[in-house]
């Protein structure tokens, strides 16, 4: 398995344990499994995986669908793959949640990722 995809799977499992959610619920009901299958097949970068999980699994009809486990998993995953945000992490994640809640577009999420994880 691609190590980047495995890192996302691990981040999801940790987030699920922390929130008391079964991993198969996150994988199946929110579509994370499908995204990770595509990521594996396409050898996606960490940013692409993060973007697609956020846009396809955490947003419904242009707004955050309250899939907190997915949000937490992506936040921890992306920090593990790039230089962590450190003291700016809380502010950056609040900005991301605002993006997802108001204009959860792929372009907006990509811009957030590129700004915070150059």
55-64: per-residue pLDDT in tens? 999 999 989 9
pLDDT of residue 1: 80
Ramachandran quadrant class, 103 (left: phi over 0; alpha: psi -120 to 50; beta: rest): beta
Tokens of 55: 């846009």
| Number of structural domains in the chain | 1
pLDDT of residue 66: 94
**Domain encompassing residue 15:** 3-116
* Dist. CA 82–CA 56, nearest whole Å: 22
Q: What percent of the chain has pLDDT over 90?
A: 92
pLDDT of residue 41: 97
The pLDDT tens digits of the residues spanning 28-61 come to 999 999 999 999 999 999 999 999 999 999 999 9
64 beta partners: 59
DSSP annotation of 88: G
Q: What percent of the chain has pLDDT over 70?
A: 100
Q: At 27, is the secondary structure helix, strand, or coil?
A: helix
């Amino acid at each position: 398995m691609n190590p980047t995809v495995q890192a996302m799977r691990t981040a999801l499992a940790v987030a699920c344990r922390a929130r008391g959610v079964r991993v198969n619920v996150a994988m199946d009901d929110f579509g994370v499994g499908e995204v990770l299958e595509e990521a594996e097949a396409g050898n996606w970068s960490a940013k692409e995986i993060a973007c697609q999980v956020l846009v396809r699994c955490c947003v419904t009809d242009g707004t955050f669908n309250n899939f907190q486990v997915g949000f937490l998993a992506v936040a921890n995953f992306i920090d593990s793959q790039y230089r962590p945000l450190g003291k700016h992490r809380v502010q950056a994640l609040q900005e991301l949640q605002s993006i997802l809640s108001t204009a959860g577009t792929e372009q907006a999420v990509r811009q957030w990722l590129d700004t915070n994880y150059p």
